[in-house]
Amino acid sequence: MTRKLITGNGAAAWGARLARAEYIPAFPITPQTEIIETLAQWIDEGQIDSRMTTLESEHSMITTAGAAATTGVRTFAATSSQGLLYGMEMIYTVAGWRAPFVLVNVSRALSAPVTLEPDHNDVLAARDSGFLQIHCATCQEVLDSVLLAYRLGEDEKVRLPVIVNLDGFYLSFTREPVEIPDDKKVDQFLPPYDPGETRFRAGDPISQGVIVLGGSQYSYFRYETHLASLNALEVFEEASKEFEELFGRSYRAVEEYRTEDAEVIFFMMGSFATKAKDAVDRLRSVGRKVGLLRPRLIRPFPIEAIISAVAGKKGIAVIDQNLSLGKGGILYTELASALYSMTDKPVLVSFIGGLGGRDITREEFYEMVAVTMKAIETGKAPPPRLLYSKEELMQMKGLQSIARVEQRKGRGKR
């Protein structure tokens, strides 16, 4: 085991390497990432024994990954943002095939307008597909989650593909110290994939593209896939326990940070949650009882773990780095529905922040606690709050005044 500085992209590649991914279909052009570049180099240098095929789109890449997985080959793929959306038709389809493989997504905000930095609308567009979703907050977690994802997806009780998500820039290009696990131990944790009876062979062909009409059979297949996804909660628990025994790092479905006696907790996912940890530490040092709850698993959604973690808390500041246009924060909606049946529910306050990689400052975390405290006192949550300042709007107005000059010029010419 060695500890070295690597990026989130590097960590994802290391995960695939240690998992001994045998087949890597890849769309090699933007928005593809250094994950594939790194793996391609290792293949070229003979450091890993994998086969890579380049495809003309993410749509084909995901089709190929699903098809390969049904033959029992351990398959790894990676994409980002618009690429994930381009392949969305097949995201739903391969999950229905019950083909387990790992797809790493580097989260970046969606067009329009075009941007480069992260938020979670890309990966949440795949929320209802049947893919399981593990969300990471550190580069170490990216590597470890790829290993856990194979265990999870390949388990007999699950057999579903898994997305491992990391934030663009904040993890993908950021180097942090990462422990590279010993490969023998990884082999012990992750033996070769054996699909058993469900293996597809060319000599014994079956069809995956089944058509069922009338709704009844369709309901059966879809609900079975749903039940398989729910099984992943228990499997994750077992796998993470074993992982901790072998590697000493604990990954629960929901990370609880200093929540024990907390009155107010932040609820959020992804790498910005470490910023919340920083704010929690600082607020704790001046006596505020705050904590952080971070769901790692978004699908399946660990409802019971969340309910037991929020029991007795007075208020929750839900921070959504996404926006369901016409509704609001997706995580807020998920949490609210999960807690609806609870008696003595904490007050939920909805914040939308970090869209397109917009920073969330330490002071904003402090302020979110203050707003939540006030909501606890009054028993009434304020309307959802976009983290956006007066200064930002002034800057926008300045840019718009330039645009108006261009607009007048343009109209005059035509």
Partner 1 sequence: MYRIRFHARGGQGIKTASRILGTAFFLEGYEVQDSPRYGAERRGAPIFAYVRASKKIINERGIINKPDLVIVTDDSLLLLPIAGVLLGVTERTVLLIATDETTEVWKKRLNLQGLVLSISTQAAVESHAGLPLLGVACVGAAAQLAGAISKSALEEAIHEQLQPLGKVIVEESLAAAMAAYDQMEPYARCTTEREDPSADSYESPHWIDLPFEDARTSAPYIHAAATTFNVKTGVWRTMRPVIDLKQCNRCALCHIYCPDGVISLDAKGYPQIDYQHCKGCLICLLQCPTHAIDAIPEHGQEGEIS
Q: Interface with partner 1 by CB under 8 A: which residues?
A: 5, 112-113, 116, 169-170, 173-177, 271-272, 274-275, 277-279, 281-283, 285-286, 288, 357, 359, 361-364, 366-367, 370, 385-391, 393, 400, 402-407, 409-410
Beta bridge partners of 320: 352
Least distance between partner 1 and beta carbon 282 (Å): 4
| Exposure letters 307-329 (e unless 16+ CB within 10 A, then b) | eebbeebbbbbbbbbbbeeeebb
Phi, psi of 105 (to 5 degrees): -115, 130
175-180 and 2-7 strand pairing? antiparallel
Q: Which residue number, 114 or 206, has a Cβ lying nearer to partner 1? A: 114
Least distance between partner 1 and beta carbon 107 (Å): 14
Question: What type of residue sits at position 157?
Answer: K
Q: Cα 213 to the chain's mean position, in Å?
A: 34
Instruction: Find the angle CA(195)-CA(144)-CA(301) to the nearest 5 degrees.
Output: 75
Residue (of 82, 48, 89) closest to 66 by Cα position: 89
Q: Which residue number, 211 or 403, has a Cβ lying nearer to partner 1? A: 403
Least distance between partner 1 and beta carbon 358 (Å): 10
Residue (of 294, 297, 249) closest to 273 by Cα position: 294
3 state SS of 386: strand
Least distance between partner 1 and beta carbon 199 (Å): 41
Q: Which residue number, 35 or 73, has a Cβ lying nearer to partner 1? A: 35
Q: Which residue number, 199 or 288, has a Cβ lying nearer to partner 1? A: 288
Least distance between partner 1 and beta carbon 284 (Å): 9
Q: Which residue number, 337 or 400, has a Cβ lying nearer to partner 1? A: 400
Q: Which residue number, 103 or 375, has a Cβ lying nearer to partner 1? A: 375
Q: How far apart are CA 338 and CA 301, in angstroms?
A: 9
Least distance between partner 1 and beta carbon 371 (Å): 9
